[in-house]
Structure 1
Amino acid sequence: MERVNYTLLTEFILMGILYPLRLRMFLFVFFLLIYILTQLGNLLILITVWADPQLHGRPMYIFLGVLSIIDMGISSIIVPRLMMTFTLGIKPIPFGGCVTQLYFYHFLGSTQCFLYTLMAYDRYLAICRPLHYPVLMSAKLSLLLVAGAWVAGSIHGAIQAILTFRLPYCGPNQVDYFFCDIPAVLQLACADTTVNEMVTFVDIGVVVASCFSLILLSYIRIIQAIMRIRTADGRRRAFSTCGAHVTVVTVYYVPCAFIYLRPETNSPLDGAAALFPTAITPFLNPLIYTLRNQEVKLALKRLIGAPRTKSGV
């Protein structure tokens, strides 16, 4: 057989999302504000958890601090590149940059998936096993679980990046998306992608489905335990400790399932759905956890009020 000659790509062009040209400047400023507020909000949560002695040793807030780090990372690898698509001129991303972006997105995204599961398990122990909670979920154990989530996430990200970029890419180089993600990049491969698509579906499907099933099971047990509480005030307090987590899990899982766990389509809704886990959810998480968590709000007040107390004002 005659060998086919081709030139491998050295860069990709991210086409961004469809938008009216008259909104170019508005969208640039909008996502710039989203990015700045995401970084500031998550940094504030991180500082509050670290600085407040009533929070930083408790597993729930260790998980929350790690979630803030992940949100800052996901936002940083996606949103600045998205903003560049709203500026004039073509700004290609190097091949290595595309590999790095895909790896870190799936590394941090899967770690976040595992972390949400740990947070659900933590709430299950706190509500269903309150007397045994200090033994079953210590600060040391929570740190070990977080370390395990990081390791599992890095392995998942490496598998996806290696499988995606082991294929030859010889043109065209226009990625019909706003960042380097598996479905969009595979469309440019100069080889059969059937195996990749199957492995991606199974791998991501197993991670998402298993994590979501464990979260769902935890909350079924939590709801059963709450329903046994006799007072309405007690049930309200128990529900309030879980409300923020349920909200962020819903905002995170629904778009991810829409993007990765369905037959391949080239729908414009893919880009809109991907904005949630990459830009919107990292922005909303600090708001959700501060507005719905009384302990975090009190810790913020203590943190802001501490200088005044020292100065005697």
Structure 2
Amino acid sequence: MKFWHGFSSHINPMFSSFLLYLSLPLDQHNHSSLAEFVFLGFASVGYVRGWLFVLLLLAYLFTICGNTLIFSVIRLDAALHIPMYHFVSVLSFLELWYTATTIPKMLANILSEKKTISFAGCLLQTYFFHSLGASECYLLTAMAYDRYLAICRPLQYPAIMTTTLCAKMTAACWICGFLCPISEVILVSQLPFCAYNEIQHIFCDFPPLLSLACKDTSTNILVDFATNAFIILITFLFIMFSYARIIGAVLKIKTASGRKKAFSTCASHLAVVLIFFGSIIFMYVRLKKSYSLALDRTLAVVYSVLTPMVNPIIYSLRNKELIKAIRRTILQKGDKAGLAHH
């Protein structure tokens, strides 16, 4: 609690000032009087618009149901109240908010003829999307550290990875994640945007916004590169270093069953890491505004829609304990419903 209050006492004034800044009337910012942006990301879908809406809606519903189920089962089942599953439940909770920042607006844009978003709304969508993305980077790093301790230092693991440390690491992931994009958003908010307001993307993001500014954005691109390189590359390298140590420790296990069990506990996390980081590194760690519109949109679908959707599949299908916990929860709910009916 002292850890959380110490952080929040410094962060709350900064975060409140940031939100107040975004809520100011447009003429109080140092940019043009551009009031809204128009999304062109789905302009070329044509007659497949209905199918695209259905597929995206099904993906979103599956993401919500899958991550809600994992989060609820882990919180309700006492057998899963260990650090590894604590981080998995936090990741599922994060994915619910991560997808909520973009997919509902994407669904509305597919059906709507006027695919617009206000200037402040665009900045807020960009901010929360990157805040939650950065939080996920830090959280995946914390999960890699947890697996490293469990496999490479099993005797010290219970003493090191305590409930208090788990809470502190989780809080640090969220706090650092929400602090990271503030400077980028403020810099973008002060750019002058001319008459052209059409975003060649499926949601608000830094690269498409920078391409609309009618002044030199080299400073913004440099700040974005430095921020993204620090967040993404440092966390990715730390995760890869952790798994290199883990693989080395696993290969020293004499029995094949022991090696298989150790690898199975890490395979799901590593799969999520490779899918998520593979797309965002290619998208954000670059010193140019964009590669190509088609590539940017494809990558955006991977890290904003597909990754949150496959997380429940990866964690549930490859984890026997979680599958058993889901079955126990369903059976208990069924028994309670039967007793209530009688």
- Shorter-chain TM-score range: over 0.9
Q: Counterparts of 2:189 and 2:46 in 1: how far apart (Å)?
A: 33
Equivalent of 1:15 in 12, 28, 40:
40
Q: 1:307 to 1:182 in 2, by over 3 A?
A: closer
In the alignment, residue 101 of structure 1 is paired with which amino acid?
Answer: Q
Q: Which residue of 1 aligns with 2:52?
A: 27
Give the conservation status (yes or no) of the 8 Å contact 2:194–2:214.
Answer: yes
Q: 1:135 to 1:192 in 2, by over 3 A?
A: same
1:293 matches 2:319: yes
Q: Which residue of 2 aligns with 1:165?
A: 189
Give the conservation status (yes or no) of the 8 Å contact 2:268–2:315.
Answer: yes
Is there any run of 5+ residues in structure 2 with no aligned partner, and where? 1-30
Q: CA deviation at 1:44?
A: 0.5
Q: How does 1:16-95 map to 2 (within 5 A)?
A: 16-17=41-42, 19-55=44-80, 57-95=81-119
Q: 1:7 to 1:128 in 2, by over 3 A?
A: closer
Q: Give per-residue Cα distances to partners, 1:116-142, cap 9 Å, x unaligned.
A: 000001000011111111111112111
Give the conservation status (yes or no) of the 8 Å contact 2:225–2:287.
Answer: no
Q: CA deviation at 1:88?
A: 4.2
Give the conservation status (yes or no) of the 8 Å contact 1:115–1:149.
Answer: yes
In the alignment, residue 149 of structure 1 is paired with which amino acid?
Answer: C
Give the conservation status (yes or no) of the 8 Å contact 1:16–1:82.
Answer: no
Q: Which residue of 2 aligns with 1:156?
A: 180
Give the conservation status (yes or no) of the 8 Å contact 1:8–1:171.
Answer: no
Q: CA deviation at 1:309?
A: 4.8
Q: CA deviation at 1:263?
A: 4.5
TM-score by length of 1: 0.94
Give the conservation status (yes or no) of the 8 Å contact 2:32–2:192.
Answer: no
Q: Counterparts of 1:18 and 1:286 in 2: how far apart (Å)?
A: 31
In the alignment, residue 23 of structure 1 is paired with which amino acid?
Answer: V
Q: Which residue of 2 aligns with 1:302?
A: 328
How many equivalent residue pairs? 307
In the alignment, residue 333 of structure 2 is paired with which amino acid?
Answer: P
Partner secondary structure for residue 135 of structure 2: helix
1:142 matches 2:182: no
In the alignment, residue 82 of structure 1 is paired with which amino acid?
Answer: M
Q: Which residue of 1 aligns with 2:141?
A: 117
Q: Which residue of 1 aligns with 2:11?
A: none
1:282 matches 2:292: no
In the alignment, residue 45 of structure 1 is paired with which amino acid?
Answer: I
1:270 matches 2:296: yes
In the alignment, residue 87 of structure 2 is paired with which amino acid?
Answer: F
Partner secondary structure for residue 179 of structure 1: coil
Q: Which residue of 2 aligns with 1:214?
A: 238
Q: 1:7 to 1:147 in 2, by over 3 A?
A: closer
Give the conservation status (yes or no) of the 8 Å contact 1:259–1:273.
Answer: yes
Equivalent of 1:228 in 252, 259, 262:
252
Q: Which residue of 2 aligns with 1:249?
A: 273
In the alignment, residue 199 of structure 1 is paired with which amino acid?
Answer: V
Q: Counterparts of 1:90 and 1:304 in 2: how far apart (Å)?
A: 43
Q: Which residue of 1 aligns with 2:120?
A: 96
Q: Counterparts of 1:194 and 1:307 in 2: how far apart (Å)?
A: 57
Q: Which residue of 2 aligns with 1:3?
A: none
Give the conservation status (yes or no) of the 8 Å contact 2:42–2:110.
Answer: no
Q: Which residue of 2 aligns with 1:107?
A: 131
Give the conservation status (yes or no) of the 8 Å contact 2:74–2:86.
Answer: yes
Q: Which residue of 1 aligns with 2:10?
A: none
Q: Counterparts of 2:134 and 2:155 in 1: how far apart (Å)?
A: 32
Q: CA deviation at 1:17?
A: 4.2
TM-score by length of 2: 0.86
Q: Between 82-91 and 46-55, report the one with greater CA deviation.
A: 82-91
In the alignment, residue 298 of structure 2 is paired with which amino acid?
Answer: A
